[in-house]
Amino acid sequence: MQKGFIEPGEKPKRFYTDVTVVAEDGGFAVKLDGRNVRSPKGGKLNVPTPALAELVAGEWSGQVGVIEMADMHATRLAFTATEAVSKAREATAGQIAEYAASDVLCYFAGEPESLHQRQLEVWEPILDRAERELALVFVRVTGIIHAAQPEETLAKIKALALEMDDFNLTGVAFGTPLFGSGVLAFAVQRGWLSGEEAYGLSRVDEAYQQEKWGVDEEAAERTARLLEEARMLDRWFKALA
């Protein structure tokens, strides 16, 4: 196997010693023993900032024994940005807008009242800021009955997404389904919230239920996994800033 190249479906042993970041081709490359990291499609990894390259390099440095690509979120996002999103920007922005059409922050619990009040306290400030700074006006819903969001809002979300470069757009596209909220993804990208804070806001209902009924092992493992993805996304946006 060529060094730096990862075959689809394989979980290779760590085959390199040194991981370095090098300015190259107008961006920054990550090299393994002097050879470029490559995607399953053979493309060289190249990112726009040294901080993002260091974030990716840290994932490669942290591999022990075998290379666990499933845990290397920044590496995979970087390849997604260059090999997928860059060629499908319109569709990617459209998907973000589609998620926002049923944004989790717009659906408040009808009962119990204590949960409804908790959601109001933590969600309304973010929705208010989105309206004030981004001109995103959302319809709030109490209960589970779907309500259509203004077409102007969805069009604005798509336009805001298309204003981003490929790497920021990829991060928002990753964060939107992670949080169930385009608003929260934008909030992390713009520095209003940390990834951990956004993840907490995305699961107010779940956290409330766990307070009442406890947490099972499977749910705890899922929460820990998604929380780490949210923290990585926070590092991703900071590295792009």
**Whether pTM exceeds 0.85:** yes
Whether residue 202 contacts residue 180, with contact meaning beta carbons closer than 8 Å, is answered with yes
Residue 219 tokens read as 């749910």
Whether residue 96 contacts residue 176, with contact meaning beta carbons closer than 8 Å, is answered with yes
- Going residue by residue through the chain, which has 241 residues, state the pLDDT in tens, using 9 for 90 and above: 344 444 455 678 889 999 999 999 999 999 999 999 998 888 899 999 999 999 999 999 999 989 898 889 999 999 999 999 999 999 999 999 999 999 999 999 999 999 999 999 999 999 999 999 999 999 999 988 889 999 999 999 999 999 999 999 999 999 999 999 999 999 999 999 999 999 999 999 999 998 888 878 888 899 999 999 999 999 999 999 9
